[in-house]
Amino acid sequence: MISIQVKNLNKLFGKTQAVDNVSFDVYKGRIFGLLGPNGAGKTTTIRMINHIIPLDSGEITINGLTVGPKTQKMIGYMPEERGLYKKMKVGEQLMYLAQLKGLKKPDAKKKIVYWLKRFDAYDWHSKVVGELSKGMSQKIQFIATIVHDPDIYIFDEPFSGLDPINSELLKEIIIELRQNGKTILFSTHRMEQVEQMCDDICLFNNGKVVITGNLRNIKKEFGKNTVLIEFEGDPGFLDELEDVRINNRSTNFAEIRILNGLSHQQILKKAMEKSEIHKFQLVEPSLNEIFISTVGEDNIKNKEALLA
């Protein structure tokens, strides 16, 4: 079943085509990753799904309904630029946000108490948000996002700015939500997070969808043509290789994508001449590699951010 369906979506800001004929489907009960460098159009797309900004053309449906005030209530949204009212008390703030999402007061109260207790934050109920530590207010932010118990969760760059403890906590929340049959869409420019968590992905670049689909299938299509090598000694052999792309290179590690039928045995041979091999593995390409090989290195916006 499709939770979020995006069809031929377009958004123009002045002369910039921020989102260019974008289509993808997010299935119920799965984790969907929206990937791409900064400025690729992820946030704009997410804002349109949340009915925060209007779309120019195309269609977005949430559980079959065209986006609007009604579908907003089906979504729990945590934006990249997030925050809370600093001068409001935690409890009142959560109550306000829950009511805006259409919850009735007694119902909201029960849920707020449940989540505050769940996150060991019940004592903060009457504290003003401005007095909380950063980590504490991040927890309150999670609660604000999920308190109205929606079907669909959208997190825009959820891990940016989180401390490690809350990063872990959020991962747990996301996985738990998925187990309960909820749909999760999150965006990130960090490929490894997607590889760890996502069922399906959609790769963005310059406002366009580059690839979308099931992560495993996408990887399979690219075949096992990537070598992970760990070695000790002279890394000079890496520079002698032709028709390969080397990602993730460090003093004793490299990820080598074979581009043109070069045999991996040849790589091994060359490597052995110069250095001692600790590990040599043939794997599916990383998402990063898939992304680069699809759009071409020159066409990537913010390459540094992507490779970070």
- The residues of the shown chain that bind other proteins, judged by CB under 8 A, are 13-14, 47, 50-54, 69, 72-73, 75, 77-79, 81-88, 96-97, 99-101, 144-145
Instruction: For other proteins, give the closer residue by CB, 2 or 100.
Output: 100
* Shortest distance, position 96 Cβ to other proteins, whole Å: 5
CB 183 within 8 A of CB 27: yes
Task: Name the token pair of 213.
Answer: 């689909």
Instruction: For other proteins, give the closer residue by CB, 47 or 257.
Output: 47
DSSP strands (E only) in the chain: 2-13, 16-27, 31-35, 57-62, 65-66, 75-78, 152-156, 183-188, 200-205, 208-214, 226-233, 244-250, 253-258, 275-283
Instruction: For other proteins, give the closer residue by CB, 4 or 229.
Output: 4
162 backbone φψ class: left, alpha, beta (φ>0; ψ -120 to 50): beta
**Taking the alpha carbons of 174, 178, 182, 184 in that order, is the dihedral positive or negative?**
positive
Instruction: For other proteins, give the closer residue by CB, 156 or 200.
Output: 156
Instruction: For other proteins, give the closer residue by CB, 27 or 96.
Output: 96
* Shortest distance, position 159 Cβ to other proteins, whole Å: 16
DSSP assignment of 141-175 equals HHHHHHTT--SEEEEESTTTT--HHHHHHHHHHHH
Burial (Cβ within 10 Å: 0-12, 13-18, ≥19) of residue 67: buried
The sheet with strand 57-62 has its strands ordered as: 16-27, 2-13, 57-62, 65-66
Instruction: For other proteins, give the closer residue by CB, 94 or 218.
Output: 94
Instruction: For other proteins, give the closer residue by CB, 94 or 271.
Output: 94
* Shortest distance, position 21 Cβ to other proteins, whole Å: 20
Task: Name the token pair of 114.
Answer: 């449940």
* Shortest distance, position 144 Cβ to other proteins, whole Å: 7
Show the CA angle centred on residue 135, arms to residues 91 and 199, nearest 5°.
Answer: 95
* Shortest distance, position 72 Cβ to other proteins, whole Å: 6
* Shortest distance, position 124 Cβ to other proteins, whole Å: 17
CB 185 within 8 A of CB 34: yes
Instruction: For other proteins, give the closer residue by CB, 93 or 193.
Output: 93
* Shortest distance, position 188 Cβ to other proteins, whole Å: 17
CB 271 within 8 A of CB 277: yes
* Shortest distance, position 120 Cβ to other proteins, whole Å: 23
CB 18 within 8 A of CB 11: yes
